[in-house]
Structure 1
Amino acid sequence: MKNMLKPLLLLSALLFFSPQGAMADTYVENVGDKLAHGVANTVTGIGEVPKNMIMTTNEKGIGYGLTAGLVSGIIYGIGRTLTGVVDLVTFIIPTKPIIYPDFIWKEFDTKQTHFHPEWKLQK
């Protein structure tokens, strides 16, 4: 019995330090990140309305910001919420975020939200 235990311990140590072990951590982290993106974007999609109103007002004035900013905020809010739902449903497949900035609070009043045209897997 003792003779079989040594090779088994050696094999488990080799597997522990193998690249597959490192990939398992990366996979779990990527899946967790995607799940977090999904939850956050589903809940905070409504935040696109004030974000777009503020940005449009700063660029083109108060009248334009209150009208066009409101409309674009509603559209981007629906888009952020839907990408969050997609991330929640497909979180088991680690992909790069579809929407940038990936969280609404990143660069809130300086960077316009945009959607990436491709849905790429994480490497």
Structure 2
Amino acid sequence: MNTYHHFFVAGLLTGLSLVYASTALADQMYQPQYQQQPDQQQYQQQYEQQPRERSYGEKIGKKALNGVVNIHTSFLEVPKAIINNTNAEGSNIVFGLVGGAIEGTLNTVARATAGVGDLTLFLLPTKAIVYPQYVWDDFYETNTRYGDIFRLDDDENPPVFELPK
């Protein structure tokens, strides 16, 4: 098999997986959300925001999307670091430009690498490595940080069965 066919097959499988994950979520998005309620209290109880467990499809879809976005927007780490280092207390413009460029370049490589990892292993639903998840979140307030790698994205569910004590 030709080398180009390997890339084509890998890209095709990744694309089909992304399409399948998005179609699995489509029925949840298009269900009717509003019904006539005669009683205001019933209306409030029905539509209070309650945390719901995310499905496997939602988790892997979000992880694949994070990977693609982090790969393509990782270069924005350089201006973010320059701005944040220049505006830091006790800093000056020279340190902001030089230190920010170095820090931004390192964060660019790290965010792109984390994005490649997320996109490659998107079928394994793990927590995000990079905080903030997207480079534009908390752009002026937060510097980019990195967390644990390969921590499963478990919702705190009670166990199905507990052993007697």
Q: TM-score range by the shorter chain?
A: 0.7 to 0.9
Q: How much has 1:119 moved relative to structure 2? A: 2.5
Q: Which runs of 5+ in 2 are unaligned?
A: 1-51, 155-165
1:41 aligns with 70
Alignment of 1:74-113 (within 5 A): 74-113=105-144
Percent identity between the two aligned chains: 36
Runs of 4+ in 1 over 4 A off after TM superposition: none
SS in 2 for 1:109: coil
Of 31, 39, 46 in structure 1, the residue corresponding to residue 60 of structure 2 is: 31
Q: How much has 1:109 moved relative to structure 2? A: 1.2
Q: Which runs of 5+ in 1 are unaligned?
A: 1-21
Matched residues, number? 101
TM-score of the aligned structures, taking structure 1 as reference length: 0.78
For 2:107, the aligned partner's letter is Y
For 1:49, the aligned partner's letter is V
Alignment of 1:7-86 (within 5 A): 26-59=55-88, 60-86=91-117
What is the root-mean-square deviation in Å for CA atoms of aligned residues? 1.5
**CA separation in 1, counterparts of 2:118 and 2:62?**
10
1:5 aligns with none
- Superposed CA offset, 1:24-44 (max 9, x none): x61000000000100000001
SS in 2 for 1:43: helix
More helix by share: 1
Of 145, 148, 164 in structure 2, the residue corresponding to residue 114 of structure 1 is: 145
TM-score of the aligned structures, taking structure 2 as reference length: 0.59
Which fold has the larger relative contact order, with Cα–Cα distance below 8 Å and residues 6 or more apart in sequence? Answer: 1
